[in-house]
Structure 1
Amino acid sequence: MLKFYRSTLINAPIEAVWQFYERPDILQLLTPPWQPVEIIRREGGLAVGAVSEFRLWLGLIPITWVAYHTECEKPYLFVDCQKIGPMKSWEHRHYFQDEKGKTRLIDEINYEIPGGIIVEFLIGWWVDSRLQEMFRYRHEVSQKYCCSLKI
């Protein structure tokens, strides 16, 4: 099992950050423009049972990724898990913590790459580098948008 973690202190109240993540266009906003990803659908917002579907492109090969929300505690947490996709397993926990009127945004992912420990050893570093790049972008966008919101 591999782990990914990213934390950013956003200069906005927790309600503003949660509201930002509830936006219907949130996936479009948080997807880096250079990544070969198509957003197919998003249904149910952040609630338990919500579904997001993507098409990832690995060169010319399309890969379907479907994630569903298994937990939601407004405005502190939501969790999505891969139902269909390229990973053997994937659980992404999104935490929102109040820190004196600001919000600590935390993304924590536990995942397994198909093929076992040898494959994880061979390409785990590459997957981690893609996650680092993507979540750096997501946290920067979150900071930018949330600091400009007026609630």
Structure 2
Amino acid sequence: MKTYRLEFTQKLPVDLDIAWDFFSSPMNLAEITPKNMTFDVTSPNIVNTKMYPGLIITYKVAPLFGIKLNWVTEITHVKDKEYFIDEQRFGPFAFWHHQHHFEKIDGGVLMHDTLHYSIGWGAIGAIVNAMVVNNKINEIFKFRYQKVEELFGKL
């Protein structure tokens, strides 16, 4: 099974506490996801929840062609104001491991995401990844970059 790795970085002109508070709230994920993906957090009683190891988050999302899919992730690791990791338990990927790192820098915060994923399906999956999936993931992170800059400013 081919596994792909993508990395994204962004600098924010805010205090680490502000960045951590926003990104460690599962409910804010919908705000930084493209609207055409109709991303909805469906976990009950999660509105005021912060990330903690073992947290299960359920979503409905339409990543391609408006087809709604169920997606279940688990927050597997959290180090307060440094990083958290989400892993897919059920959903559209054969494998999904997403690290979110936060580092205090001069004038703000450096966010660094490392994503490992696989869509499976052997050679067909490699073609689908090259033609559709990799581009879609990059498009999502580009939207996120722009939305986060809109919310917090540019450093």
Q: Same fold (TM over 0.5)?
A: yes
Identity %: 20
Contact 1:12 1:101 in 2 (8 A): yes
Contact 1:14 1:75 in 2 (8 A): yes
Quote the Cα distance in structure 1 between the aligned partners of 2:124 and 2:12.
36
| Counterpart AA for 1:27 | L
Q: RMSD value over aligned CA atoms?
A: 2.1
Q: How much does 1:60 deviate?
A: 6.5
Post-superposition Cα deviations, 1:4-49, rounded to whole Å, max 9, x if no partner, equal: 1111111112221111113463022112112243332274421111
Q: Structure 1 stretch 136-145 or stretch 8-17: which is displaced more?
A: 136-145
Quote the Cα distance in structure 1 between the aligned partners of 2:137 and 2:35.
14
Residue 87 of structure 2 corresponds to 81
Higher strand share: 1
Contact 2:57 2:73 in 1 (8 A): yes
Contact 1:92 1:109 in 2 (8 A): yes
Unpaired segments of 5 or more residues in structure 1? none
Residue 126 of structure 2 corresponds to 121
Residue 34 of structure 2 corresponds to 32
TM-score where L is the length of structure 1: 0.85
Unpaired segments of 5 or more residues in structure 2? none
1:45 matched to 2:50? The reply is yes
1:68 to 74, 85, 89: 74
Contact 1:14 1:101 in 2 (8 A): no
2:23 to 21, 28, 53: 21
Runs of 4+ displaced beyond 6 Å:
none
Q: Structure 1 stretch 16-25 or stretch 6-15: which is displaced more?
A: 16-25
1:132 matched to 2:138? The reply is yes
Quote the Cα distance in structure 1 between the aligned partners of 2:40 and 2:21.
23
